[in-house]
Amino acid sequence: MLLRTLAGAFALLAPAAAAPAAAATSATSAVDQSGLYVATKLNYHPLPRIERVPSQDGWEHWFKLEEANITLRPDRRFIASFRYYRQHVRPRAAVSPGPLLNETYKGKYSMSGTKITFVPDKTKQHKNVQPIVGTLANAQLMIPYIVAEGQSKHPLRLDLRREGNW
């Protein structure tokens, strides 16, 4: 749910066919960029961070992101995990968070310059997956996304810092 909220409310093209020289460069960058990326900010504010996203029914999707991690593997696979609280509440209503939720997504990623594209694996719950495009430079990963609920649009931006090598 959170990945879909952050990415289609992070539900995360396959690498295009390329010349051998381009493939070698691309493979090198996958190895160079592999590692653990830990979220530091959501919408320019440090974690944990609370966001309220308007919903189509006039209520709000309230969520508090506690942690987010993305592991980039040298084989062009990623694992994204999130720990968060979520509630569907009336606008500006007091929130009593329920249980801490955990979600994990796996998939493929490709790089072109500093652009990184995540494509999550299809699952029973997420059959229609959309790619998520971010920027990876200088050990910093930035993933912007617009959450669209009916006529309402809410921008989200997740900033992550590289914490370790693969």
Alpha-carbon distance 110 to 136, whole Å?
11
- Number of structural domains found in the chain: 1
What pLDDT is recorded for position 143? 96
Residue 15 has pLDDT above 80, yes or no: no
pLDDT tens, position by position, 90-123: 988 899 888 999 999 999 999 999 999 999 999 8
Nearest to 74 by CA among 17, 104, 33: 33
For the entire predicted model, the pTM comes to 0.79
Domain range spanning residue 22?
Answer: 2-165
Residue 15, CA distances (Å) to 47, 74, 76, 108 in order: 32, 14, 9, 9
